[in-house]
Amino acid sequence: MKAVLSWVAAACCLAGPLFATTINDKVTSFELGNGMQVVVIEDHRAPVLQHMVWYKAGSADEPKGASGVAHFLEHLLFKATDKMEAGEFSATVAANGGRDNAFTSYDYTAYFQSVAADRLELMMQMESDRMVNIRLTPENIATERDVIIEERNSRVENNPRALFSEQMNAVQYFNHRYGVPIIGWRHEMETLDLDDALDFYKTYYAPNNAILVVSGDVVPEQVRELAEQYYGAIPANPDLPERVRTQEPPQTAARRVAFKDARVAQPYVSRSYLAPERDSGDQEKAAALTILAEILGGGQTSYLTERLQFDSNVAVYSGAFYSGTSLDDTTFDIIVVPSEGVELEAAESALDQALADFLRDGVDPEQLGRIKMQLRAAQIYARDNVDAIANRYGRALTSGLTVEDEQAWPDLLQTVTEDQIMTAAREVLRPETSVTGWLMRKDDEVTQ
């Protein structure tokens, strides 16, 4: 961040108009005959590329009772296919000087390879193979189920912050699958079987439910030719279900969570508010919330930092977070870590007062200007990373946005006004849509 700020300062002095320049990613998008969307993002500065296949199926698309199956299947796709043995995929990528992995979220599952530009055809050949030819055995299921359960042990069960966050999410969402952990509830993970994995695979792993994103030293014509050869030969799934999610009912009561664990080293207060996501063609409110998070808790000059750390010494850390790239309603989150000797009740009261004062006082125009400049600088730097830019478009497209929406986003952030920010703040920072959590030591007292 220091490097970014230094660059911003230099740019202000030497190249004032720079940040008024539109950020134009060189993007080409087209669709194959079987319904697979292809996005090509050109960057010819280095002979490397990122090859990604994104499936519009994540943990929020899982059937009830089978939580964790999307992530489970992600693991299983590194097993054997009709053409490759288990582990051969990653070994081949490594032998060609690249790296590969995969990840699952609420709205998508994605598989990627970062390789030299002349290895594109090999990556398409292998990735298209496992889109339809996965070969699973009962032994695969038993082994990999143990792996994901151990992953839950290490990432969640052994981490009180993760357990606390899991409880917060479950309370935030009454009816939506975002309240179920991506990795799954342990008791349901333990029952996942071959049929669960194959049912999810056969339903969602199809070209008409996938997006191919290739970024780096490529040209659209080359990508189109190879994509039609390897992915275009795969038939669409005519029975692909419509992507319908259960929606939240009106939230009309503030909720509280008190989570105690003997392993907690630093208690803190966490609060989440139900918040709207970025919608295609209507991203203004999400842009305002993105700026609001930066104003309230985006760094050492943020509003909460000034009030809670520097002015009153109530906290040693405060932050606000919002990511609108989501298919359905997301959350606006705030964390306050109290100073030594400050009770959680006092920290929460100080947070409430700071938010009330902000809603009364409004936005500092100078701070807003700085934040917009920092965002612009960060967005310019992000274009140097073929991995990051492919991820940005993949997340957007699997969350219901379009290429045009994603291209418009950087400039839209620059047009956000003080009035839009305050309107969004008043709509979102409402107690009745909130969950306030205290992460506590085992022997701490709950005073509220």
Write out the catalytic residue numbers: 74
Structure tokens given for 60: 């929020």
Residue 379, C-beta contacts closer than 8 angstroms, at least 6 positions apart: 23, 410
Could you count the other beta carbons within 10 Å of the beta carbon of residue 6?
Answer: 11
Measured between alpha carbons, how far is 16 from 346 in angstroms, rounded to an integer?
A: 44
Note whether 136 and 79 are within 8 A (CB): yes
C-alpha of 134 from chain center: 27
Query: Nearest 5°: phi and psi at 318?
Result: -145, 150
Q: In whole angstroms, give the CA distance from residue 436 to residue 270.
A: 6
Residue 194: name the closest of 76, 310, 107, 311 by CA. Answer: 76
CA dist., res. 35 & res. 209, Å (int)? 8
User: Which among 370, 357, 378 is positioned nearest to 303, based on CA atoms?
Assistant: 357
Q: Whole-angstrom Cα distance, residue 415 to residue 312?
A: 33
Asked if residues 398 and 204 have their Cβ atoms less than 8 Å apart, the reply is no
Beta bridge partners of 48: 116
Q: How far apart are CA 289 and CA 423, in angstroms?
A: 10
With tokens 């000059």, the residue in question is 301
Residues in the chain: 448
